[in-house]
Every structure is written in structure tokens, then in C-alpha cells.
Amino acid sequence: MPVYAYRGVTNAGKSTRGSVMAESQRAARDKMRREGIFLTELVEGRGGAAAAAPAETSERSFSLNLEFLSFLNRVPAMETAIATRQLSTLVGAGIPLVEALGALTEQVEHRGLQTLIGHVRERVNEGASLADALQSTEAFDDLYVSMVRAGEAGGALETVLARLADYLEDQVRLKNKVTSILIYPAVMLFVAIGVVGLLVTVVLPQITDLLQGLGQELPIYTQVIIAGSEFVRGWWWALLAVTVAGALGLRAVLQTENGRAVYDRVRLKLPVIGRVARVLAIARFSRTLSTLLAGGISIVRALDIARHVANNAVLSRAIEAARTSIVEGAPLAQPLRASGEFPPLVTHMIEVGEQSGELESMLAKVAETYDEQVETAISRLTALLEPLLILLMVGIVLVIVLSTLMPLLQFTSALQ
């Protein structure tokens, strides 16, 4: 008979742990419930080892849970959006939450998300709120958990879940648009690098042997091309190592607060890319803040969540300063305007929204406007980038070809 290690709370409110023998997990839960123990963790052990060391088994299960939840974090956003929409429909139909989560487990196709929802259902069945159950998985961000918590407190869980689904779908839709626009330039860049690499490592060495066998002095530009080709073929591993080390070093710097701030500040000041990055961050911030406020979250808490969603250290600091000013009694538009990081259109619409009491709808309009600007700006950028990549590739190939053909033409002319 299987042995299960458990953690739980007694009727007196004291924590307890131990092991129990039962035919199944359900039988183990029923047995412990009859003994007056409210289970918080139940893990199947391995024979006598689990019975002799339930604490070690339980600790090991927590470690496995952390690895498991790390895997769950990779659930696609669209899968989460669909599941949220389905849960909203089930709750709106009057189905109890535990049964709705059970039905959702059967409907979800993504295996990781299916297991995650099953874990949430167990927590809710044990008496936890939906928000606490979601937070315990560490797979849902603060925005999601805070919205659900506000929906449960206000008795509007169906509405909040529907708004969350709208938000997630909008984010996925914008990401897909940007990705689809960038695919062609990325392919062009990959092809250009491949063609140049093939010329330098395969074609050019064969021509080099021919040129060196002519017995005459080669032009300086031909010597440079040949030296570059030999350097790449001889030290490719060093170049690869330097590239990887540089990428890892840059990643380490970006993980620091000051490094991230410098990077974001420089990125925002770039001619074309800076505007796209700013518009994208403001669109993400506006939509998130609108969704949180519409879900009943206080503006102070909503700003604290939305500043992280903006994913830009410069704008995050401006939003944090605005949050501090609001705590002191100032309106939202004033500190955002004073920061100089938000365009006049944004601050003006926020100010109008505050005065009219329709801040959520104004922020939603800002997000829609800037989403369109992001798509337009990236379309124009890629339209300019495509011919530049083609010209760059043609130019590099032309330089290599001319550098190798000119000595051959000169040698042919000398023979005539």
C-alpha cells in the first residue's frame, strides 16, 4: 500500500507533518480529514523510506514543485488567455469555482497549463481563495493575481476574468503583429550573413591560392581581403568566444539597476528605434493601468504593477515618482508631465480622464492609439531596413568579387 508524506494544519491551528498509508491520494485525504487535519501538501513516497523520512520527502517535493513551476512559466500567453476566457464563461454560468476549475482542466489542451490549473483547483478545494491559489503557483504575475483578488473581493470575478482575457489577447495580438513585420528583415539579415560567410570561408580561399600562384604583387585591397579571410578561418573559435562572452557580459550588465537604466536611456535617444521603444512601452503601460483600474485595483497599487510591465527603467522611474506624488495628494497627469518622458498627448488625455472620472477609458484610448503607432512605425522601419540590407549584402559581395577579379584582369592584360 502506498505511503504518503503530508503537511497540514490541525483543528487547533497548529502545523503538523507525518505520513499516512492509503490506497490512493483521495483515500489519504479522506483519512486525514476524519482525523481533523487540513492538508496543505500530500506527496506519494517510496515505501519505507517515505515513512521513515516524511520531512525529507516533503522538502524534496517542494524542490520538484519549483522546477515544475519554472516549466509552467513557459505556457504561451494565448493559452492562458483562452483558459481565462473559458473560466469567466463557466463562472458566469453559475458553476461553483471548484467545478469550473475541474471542467477547465478537461478543456485545456496545453499539458503544462492543464497541470497548473489542476494544482490551483486542489488549493481552492482545500479552502484557499482563487487569488491565493494562483499566487502559490508562482506562475502568474502580480497583475493577474491582483485582478483576481479584486474580483473576488468585489463579487465581480466573471467580469474581471473577462477583462484579463481581453488584456492578454490584446498583448498577444500586438506581439504577433510586431513579430510578423520583423520576420522578413530577420531572414534577409540571416541570408546576408550566410552568403558573406560562404564567400569568405569557402570561395575566397580557393581564389586566394590562384592569386598567390600568379607570382605578382597583389593590390593592397586584395591583400586586406585575403588577410581578413585567413583571420576568420583561423580564429573563428576566438571570434565566437568573444561574441558569446560579450553577449553574456551585456546580459549581466542589463540585470543590474544602473546598467539597465543606462541601456534604456540610450535606447530611447536613438533616432528611429528610440521612438518605437517609447511608444511600445507607453502603450503597454496605458493598457495595463486601464485594465487594473477597471478591475477595481487602487491607483497606487495599479501604478506599482504597471511600471514593471512597461519594461523600461527610465519610464519605470517616472511612474514610480508619479506614484509617490499621488500618495502625497497630487493628480497623475502632473508628475508624468513633469518627468518629460511622456508625450503631451498622453498626459493631456490622462488629465482629461481624471477630471471627467473616466481615466480607465482614456488610458484604453491611449493604448489603442499607440498600438497603431507601433505597428506603423515598425512597418516604416522595416520598409527602410529591407533595401539597406540588400544594398549592404550587394556591396560586401561586390567588394570581395572586385578585389579578387582585378588582379586576374591585370594579369590577363599583361599577358596580351
Q: What residue ranges do the domains of the chain occupy?
A: 3-68, 77-168, 169-416
pLDDT of residue 245: 94
Looking at this protein, which amino acid is placed at residue 187?
V
pLDDT of residue 3: 64
C-alpha grid cell, residue 66: 519549483
Domains 3-68 and 77-168 alike in fold = no
Q: Is the dihedral of CA 56, 62, 63, 68 positive or negative?
A: positive
Mean pLDDT, the chain, whole residue set: 79
- Residue 154 CA to residue 301 CA, distance in Å, equals 16
- Report whether pLDDT(392) > 70: yes
* Domain 169-416, CATH homologous superfamily name and number: Type II secretion system (T2SS), domain F (1.20.81.30)
Query: Of 163, 280, 224, 270, nearest to 400 (Cα)?
Result: 224
**pLDDT (tens digit, 9 = 90+) per residue, 365-376?**
988 888 888 878
- Residue 239 CA to residue 193 CA, distance in Å, equals 15
pLDDT of residue 56: 43
Give this prediction's pTM.
0.64
pLDDT of residue 26: 76
C-alpha grid cell, residue 64: 520538484
Looking at this protein, which amino acid is placed at residue 11?
N
pLDDT of residue 150: 80
- Over the Cα atoms of the chain, what is R_g? 30
pLDDT of residue 58: 42
275, containing H or E segment: helix 273-294
| Contact yes or no for 117/144 (Cβ under 8 A) | no
- Residue 167 CA to residue 292 CA, distance in Å, equals 10
Query: Of 416, 413, 404, 412, nearest to 219 (Cα)?
Result: 404
- Report whether pLDDT(186) > 50: yes
- Report whether pLDDT(241) > 90: yes
Vertex 223 angle, CA 217 and 228, to 5°:
160
What's the pLDDT band for 14 if we cut at 50, 70, 90?
Answer: low
- Stronger pLDDT, 297 or 178, i.e. the higher one: 297
Domain 3-68 has CATH 3.10.20: yes
pLDDT of residue 74: 67
What's the pLDDT band for 95 if we cut at 50, 70, 90?
Answer: confident
- Report whether pLDDT(46) > 50: no
**CATH T-level assignment (fold) for domain 77-168:** Receptor-associated Protein (1.20.81)
* φ, ψ (nearest 5 deg) of residue 364: -65, -40
